[in-house]
């Protein structure tokens, strides 16, 4: 499992996890994504992370996609995504692979993520093929996040929340858990006791669904799935006391 560490002297730090753009699909919510990019660009204390499935990967014989519904060719999708995010490329803390990336890997032995990072001038060392632990030191406070794109299907938000809670069984004492895949925005929390430096204290854990930037697709409509939540959460890390606040 990849582990990354960052240190920030700002207070507070805003972190925007983004996922499921699916650039290339006719349902790509480009206008909404551009607004988020502008919000980050206007704030020196805002960073982002990409939690998987930036590109649509239609292929033949896939029940989840229709190759004839591609709005952009793969090269055009790469160029569009690069153009959109380039103004805040230096704010990207990490990139993760998702199930759309897995489709590409199974077919061709590679995914678009590496080329995307190279085009943006980013290190390939920030790409996580599966789970990722990110340590953030904000001011005087140390925070940790565990993120995973997600898996399977959940028709209800409750089902997706339960999947996010399962992340807490993998990495036990993170402050924040991020999950994508279902295109849903949600937040819930639980408090637990942890023993740190010989002292028992309460740790507040935040479980967050990161939404997406893809509108209602033919696949979702055909399964009578509810409409996706277009957008991303905004997570605020306080630098003077242990406090995490999420706005969705």
User: Does position 222 have pLDDT exceeding 70, yes or no?
Assistant: yes
Degrees, nearest 5: CA angle 187-217-38:
55
Cα dihedral value 138, 143, 149, 153, nearest 10: -130
Tens of pLDDT along 33-88? 999 999 999 999 999 999 989 998 766 666 556 665 677 888 999 999 999 999 99
Total-model pTM: 0.91
Is 2-243 CATH 1.10.287?
Answer: no
| Residue 68: Cβ-neighbour burial (10 angstroms; 0-12, 13-18, 19+) | exposed
Closest CA to 25 of 76, 63, 101, 89: 76
């Amino acid at each position: 499992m990849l582990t990354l560490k960052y240190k920030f002297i700002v207070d507070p730090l805003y972190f925007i996890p983004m996922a499921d753009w699916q650039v290339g699909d006719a349902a790509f919510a480009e206008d909404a994504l551009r607004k988020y990019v502008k919000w980050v660009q206007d704030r020196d204390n805002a960073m982002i992370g990409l939690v998987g499935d930036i590109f649509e990967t239609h292929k033949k014989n896939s029940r989840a996609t229709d190759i004839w519904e591609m709005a952009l060719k793969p090269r055009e999708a790469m160029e569009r995504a690069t153009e959109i995010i380039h103004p805040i490329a230096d704010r990207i803390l990490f990139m993760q692979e998702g199930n759309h990336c897995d489709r590409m890997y199974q077919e061709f032995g590679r995914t678009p993520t590496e080329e995307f990072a190279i085009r943006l001038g980013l290190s390939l060392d920030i790409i996580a093929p599966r789970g990722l632990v990110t340590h953030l030191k904000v001011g005087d406070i140390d925070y940790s996040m565990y993120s995973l794109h997600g898996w399977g299907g959940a028709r209800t938000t409750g089902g997706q929340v339960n999947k996010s809670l399962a992340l807490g069984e993998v990495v036990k004492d993170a402050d924040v858990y991020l999950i994508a895949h279902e295109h849903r925005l949600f937040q819930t929390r639980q408090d637990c006791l942890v023993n740190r430096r010989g002292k028992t204290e309460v740790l507040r854990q935040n479980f967050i669904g990161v939404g997406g930037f893809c509108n209602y697709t033919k696949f979702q409509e055909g399964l009578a799935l509810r409409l996706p939540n277009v957008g991303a959460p905004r997570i605020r890390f306080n630098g003077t006391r242990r406090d995490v606040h999420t706005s969705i």
